[in-house]
């Protein structure tokens, strides 16, 4: 029996990068996965990858910051696969500036995607978790469900030019610890993974504005200057940035049964960079 047979997972931001790798990992262990991306094509690609390997997946395309997204995301798991066992809040991006140049719009956008969106998704999941826990108590069954929120080393230590991102990622740690206390009675573990430098399209793209992502019609430059990236890698004890597969692996550890007695914790996945 695979570790996650008959489990149902929802993973925001899983059309690409770390989220896609995690979706494939969970599906390989038997979980049915609801995939999400802003765009249809990458979401469909992830679903197809899982299906080709013999797994089950569906897609909910849309912006996680939309007011009704959390309800739609959870409903897709219930309607499509009959339950909900694993929630991973992975979607996000950066929109950097030093504080005196940062607009309210810039601040709000990052707080919405990294803090409000996970809050809404988890609020939508609460009735499902509560009802399942009540039913299982009455039948004598015990099922451990999982929430993994994605934070960052910037949320733990701060980072110049990222006051919005650092604040959002620090906030998700607080949310994680609060819900670990609230949801223990449902036998739900709530943990966070804080990523260090991971090589994704958001870090490896040119930092000269030639590579952008489209978020709600806004063209946002992405990428880290190669010299800055090389300097950061020199400070990492393992000597390199992590891969999306390695980042997904850290989240995977908190989704499998071997971590059933771990809750309220922040796992730093940074190659030794603290």
pLDDT for the residue numbered 274: 78
Specify the length of the chain in residues.
274
Q: Does 204 have pLDDT greater than 70?
A: no
- Mean pLDDT over residues 175-183, rounded? 98
Q: Does 210 have pLDDT greater than 60?
A: no
Q: Which residue has the higher pLDDT, 239 or 215?
A: 239
On average, the pLDDT of the chain sits at 94
**What tens digit of pLDDT does each residue of 115-156 get?**
999 999 999 999 999 999 999 999 998 899 999 999 999 999
Element containing residue 152 per DSSP (H, E): strand 145-152
pLDDT for the residue numbered 213: 82
Instruction: Check if the beta carbon of residue 193 is closer than 8 Å to that of residue 254.
Output: yes
pLDDT for the residue numbered 233: 87
pLDDT for the residue numbered 205: 55
**What tens digit of pLDDT does each residue of 54-67 get?**
999 999 999 999 99
pLDDT for the residue numbered 145: 98
User: Which residue, chain included where needed, has tokens 């806004």?
Assistant: 218
Q: Which residue has the higher pLDDT, 43 or 205?
A: 43
Q: Measured between alpha carbons, how far is 19 from 12 in angstroms, rounded to an integer?
A: 7
pLDDT category, 219, cuts 50, 70, 90?
confident
- DSSP tally for the chain: helices H, then strands E: 10, 9
pLDDT for the residue numbered 200: 86
Q: Is 165 known to be catalytic? A: yes
Instruction: Check if the beta carbon of residue 54 is closer than 8 Å to that of residue 33.
Output: no
pLDDT for the residue numbered 225: 64
- Mean pLDDT over residues 75-93, rounded? 98
- Mean pLDDT over residues 100-125, rounded? 98
**Buried-exposed string 140-175: b where 16+ CB fall within 10 A, e elsewhere:** eeebebbbbbbbbbbbbeebeebbbbbbbbbbbbeb
pLDDT for the residue numbered 216: 77
pLDDT category, 232, cuts 50, 70, 90?
confident
Q: Which residues contact 161 (CB under 8 A, 6 or more apart)?
A: 96, 97, 98
Q: Does 16 have pLDDT greater than 90?
A: yes
In the set 165, 186, 252, 261, the catalytic residue is 165
Q: Does 74 have pLDDT greater than 80?
A: yes
- Mean pLDDT over residues 212-229, rounded? 75
CA angle, residues 11, 247, 154, in degrees to nearest 5: 95
Closest by CA position to 97, among listed 229, 204, 199, 221: 221
Q: Residue 115, exposed/middle/buried by CB under 10 A (0-12, 13-18, 19+)?
A: buried
pLDDT for the residue numbered 70: 98
Q: Does 223 have pLDDT greater than 80?
A: no
pLDDT category, 221, cuts 50, 70, 90?
confident
């Amino acid at each position: 029996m695979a570790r996650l047979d008959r489990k149902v997972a929802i993973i925001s931001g899983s059309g690409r990068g770390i989220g896609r790798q995690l979706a494939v990992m969970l599906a390989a262990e038997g979980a049915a996965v609801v995939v999400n991306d802003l765009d249809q094509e990458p979401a469909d690609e992830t679903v197809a990858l899982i299906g080709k390997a013999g797994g089950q997946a569906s897609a909910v395309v849309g912006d996680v910051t939309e007011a009704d997204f959390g309800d739609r995301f959870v409903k897709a798991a219930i309607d499509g696969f009959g339950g909900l066992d694993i929630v991973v809040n992975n979607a996000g991006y950066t929109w950097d500036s030093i504080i005196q140049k940062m607009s309210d719009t810039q601040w709000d956008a990052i707080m919405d995607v990294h803090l409000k969106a996970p809050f809404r998704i988890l609020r939508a999941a609460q009735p499902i978790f509560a009802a399942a826990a009540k039913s299982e108590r009455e039948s004598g069954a015990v099922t451990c469900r999982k929430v993994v929120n994605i934070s960052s080393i910037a949320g733990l230590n701060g980072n110049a030019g990222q006051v919005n991102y650092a604040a959002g990622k620090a906030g998700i740690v607080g949310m994680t610890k609060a819900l670990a206390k609230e949801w223990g009675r449902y036998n739900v573990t709530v943990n966070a993974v804080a990523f260090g430098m991971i090589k994704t399209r958001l870090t490896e793209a040119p930092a000269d504005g030639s590579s952008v992502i489209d978020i709600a019609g806004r063209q946002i430059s992405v990428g880290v200057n190669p010299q800055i990236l090389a300097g950061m890698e020199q400070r990492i004890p393992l000597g390199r940035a992590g891969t999306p597969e390695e980042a997904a692996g850290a989240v995977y550890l908190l989704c499998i049964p071997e971590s059933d007695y771990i809750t309220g914790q922040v796992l730093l996945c940074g190659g030794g960079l603290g």
